[in-house]
Structure 1
Amino acid sequence: MSPLQVAVGVVKNSLGEVLISLRHDKLHQGGLWEFPGGKVEAEETVGQALARELKEELDITVQAAMPLITINHQYPDLAVQLCVFTVESYSGTVKSCEGQPFLWVNPDDLVNYAFPVANRPIIAAVRLPPYYAILDDADPTLLLVNLDGILENGIKLIQARLKTLSADAVKSFLEQAYPLCKTYKASLLLNSSVKQAEGCEVNGLHLTSVDLLACRQRPDGKQWVGASCHNREELRHAEKIGVDFVVLAPVLATPTHPDAEILGWDHFAELTAQINLPVYALGGLTQSDLLVAREAGAQGIAGIRAFLG
């Protein structure tokens, strides 16, 4: 039997808050919070269903919607496919047309509300930004300069990939970098190849593909856990242990890895469609590739040089 296809809208207001509503107790997964939307009817596109549902539920008219993530989930009694869109452009004033209580919530506060299990990756996707900068230590003298530039460019998610620094240099850098990121309200993740950073304050961990496959469960005590993936096996394992997002690479050829086997956008889209996680595209990309990446199912763009200009 085909899964129940559902169009879901992450509706945002001018403050960046997200609308959530409480499911009626008598419905499937009743009593839990949800993002507005509903079943895609026969001979109706997902976009048409989204517009109809938001008009019926909230009395708003969608003017533009951007694909965010697609989730395939098997409940004990029901298979669902959630086609999720971000809706920031709409006309009308939100009101509850069907009597459901609703709230405007800061994205980072969504984790404090009880949602159906299938919604967990959606919450991660809502909270994650469109760009993920990888701060490389190829030239250690430029680390803080490059970090400053990345932050000044408005990037809110940064990975410190410090593979060549000494333990003392790593700690010295992180002691400066973390407060700086905090000032800019950006999250700093440390690459798992860095083994000498005990006690250093960061916002999370980014697992190399080798460390990912060695993990039997999600690392404890991390606000964010990301992972590097290159194939279906690694993606499936990332989903199994419960990471928050993955980076899938290489999408296109890169100067640093000219002999690497590239995925291309078609294969990237095929792999992304099989995973219930936000996926950043990496490899030969710039910020201007964001729309292409999102059309292929990506959360956004990751890169080393893409955010330094």
Structure 2
Amino acid sequence: MIHVAVAVIKNPRQEVLVALRRPGSHQGGLWEFPGGKVEEGETVFTALQREIQEELDLSISAAFPFIKISHDYGDKRVLLDVWQVTEFGGTAIGREGQQIQWLPPVDMQEQDFPAANRRIIDLLKLPLEMAITPALKELPALSEYLEKVAAADVKLIQLRQKQLPTAALLKWANHAETLGERLGLKIVLNAPVDLIPMMPGSMGLHLSATELGKLKAPLAKPSFLLGCSCHSRDELRRAEALSVDYALLSPVAKIAKYPAAAALGWSGFAELAADANVPVYALGGLRREDLDIAQSMGAVGIAGISMYP
């Protein structure tokens, strides 16, 4: 298997740098995320720095693991070690004559990329913010909440209503899914794994750390988004092993739910995020203005209850 270091490099407009593979090369004529083979004795980060300097004339000074992807093309097997670059210098140019462009994730078409890159595209299309519903007393309050969050331009919603019995939670989930489709929202339901057969077809599933601990093997999840809550390195590694699409890592700051000693702080968050091969959202005591610092610490985005709508 060929070990490849891959860079996700974003500009201030959240566009991602991609390069066109040369005709005649493996997967030639397709766009790809830049990078190259990890040589013997190199760390992934060192390989990333070398390849990006050689190919694009950019100097990477900081990056965090994003996801690992294994893929078998039939004639070649690859392990993509994908890192999210948070600090770099220089102006990108195709030093090897390759065409490059800055492309918004929403404009990426999977058929234009090698098959091994397509999971990266799916993850890059994750919204930068996740709103988690507060405890609500009645269904009309949920409608009002979703309308307000959509108006605030938040596109990913975790429906978390621990006070509801199963039948009521499923009723609320179906209502949220219908309204969410009209408002352009992606809904994930905070629920036990047992509810998967009863969930609305396109709704995602969010697992608590307790529910995550019950899983013995990755779920077969071809059609829905799967996330989880994590509070430690061990839980993040379990999330990675179970192939979740994202994890919420908390608490970053002191909040009433946890003792002050449990707060990670940004340095603790960055340390755990740097060791996690799964996209991580920062959660706990944050404001919407914290998005930039969260991303600089290795987060894909931020999540919260009280800061929305």
TM-score range, shorter chain: 0.7 to 0.9
The one-letter code matched in structure 1 to 2:121 is: I
Q: Displacement of 1:231 after TM fit?
A: 0.9
Q: Is residue 68–residue 84 contact of structure 1 (8 Å, CA) maintained in 2?
A: yes
Q: Displacement of 1:128 after TM fit?
A: 1.0
Q: Which residue of 1 aligns with 2:73?
A: none
Q: Is residue 6–residue 37 contact of structure 1 (8 Å, CA) maintained in 2?
A: yes
**Rounded Cα–Cα distance in structure 1 between residues aligned with 2:149 and 2:192:** 22
Change (3 A) 1:86 1:19: farther
**Rounded Cα–Cα distance in structure 1 between residues aligned with 2:16 and 2:191:** 32
Q: If the length of structure 2 is used for normalisation, what is the TM-score?
A: 0.72
Q: Is residue 7–residue 49 contact of structure 1 (8 Å, CA) maintained in 2?
A: no
Task: List gaps (5 residues or longer) in structure 2.
Answer: 71-75
Q: Which residue of 2 aligns with 1:287?
A: 288
Q: Displacement of 1:214 after TM fit?
A: 1.5
Q: Per-residue displacement from partner, 1:103-159 (whole Å, max 9, x unpaired)?
A: 96864865554344xx57643441111111111334336322222111111111111
The one-letter code matched in structure 2 to 1:272 is: A
**Rounded Cα–Cα distance in structure 2 between residues aligned with 1:13 and 1:171:** 40
Which sits farther off after the overlay, 288-297 or 166-175? 166-175
Q: Displacement of 1:16 after TM fit?
A: 6.6
Matched residues, percent identical?
31
**Rounded Cα–Cα distance in structure 2 between residues aligned with 1:74 and 1:145:** 40
Q: Is residue 136–residue 143 contact of structure 1 (8 Å, CA) maintained in 2?
A: no
**Rounded Cα–Cα distance in structure 2 between residues aligned with 1:196 and 1:235:** 23
Q: Which residue of 2 aligns with 1:54?
A: 56
Number of aligned residue pairs: give it.
292
Q: Which residue of 1 aligns with 2:131?
A: 133
Task: List gaps (5 residues or longer) in structure 1.
Answer: 56-60
Change (3 A) 1:269 1:304: same
Q: Which residue of 2 aligns with 1:269?
A: 270
Q: Per-residue displacement from partner, 1:35-83 (whole Å, max 9, x unpaired)?
A: 135689x9x997897577436xxxxx99xx9988534869899998654
Alignment of 1:101-112 (within 5 A): 107=106, 111-112=110-111
Q: Displacement of 1:247 after TM fit?
A: 0.3
Q: Is residue 17–residue 106 contact of structure 1 (8 Å, CA) maintained in 2?
A: yes
Q: Which residue of 2 aligns with 1:58?
A: none
The one-letter code matched in structure 1 to 2:305 is: I
3-state SS, counterpart of residue 184 of structure 2: coil
Change (3 A) 1:95 1:263: closer
**Rounded Cα–Cα distance in structure 2 between residues aligned with 1:296 and 1:12:** 16
Change (3 A) 1:187 1:38: same
**Rounded Cα–Cα distance in structure 2 between residues aligned with 1:258 and 1:246:** 21
Q: If the length of structure 1 is used for normalisation, what is the TM-score?
A: 0.72
Change (3 A) 1:180 1:77: closer
Q: Per-residue displacement from partner, 1:168-215 (whole Å, max 9, x unpaired)?
A: 433432333212222232211111248668153443111111111212
**Rounded Cα–Cα distance in structure 2 between residues aligned with 1:195 and 1:164:** 17
Alignment of 1:110-149 (within 5 A): 111-112=110-111, 113-116=113-116, 122-140=120-138, 142-149=141-148
**Rounded Cα–Cα distance in structure 2 between residues aligned with 1:79 and 1:255:** 42
Q: Displacement of 1:282 after TM fit?
A: 0.7
3-state SS, counterpart of residue 136 of structure 1: coil
Q: Is residue 134–residue 161 contact of structure 1 (8 Å, CA) maintained in 2?
A: yes
Instruction: Please report the RMSD computed on the Cα atoms of aligned residues, expressed in angstroms.
Output: 4.6
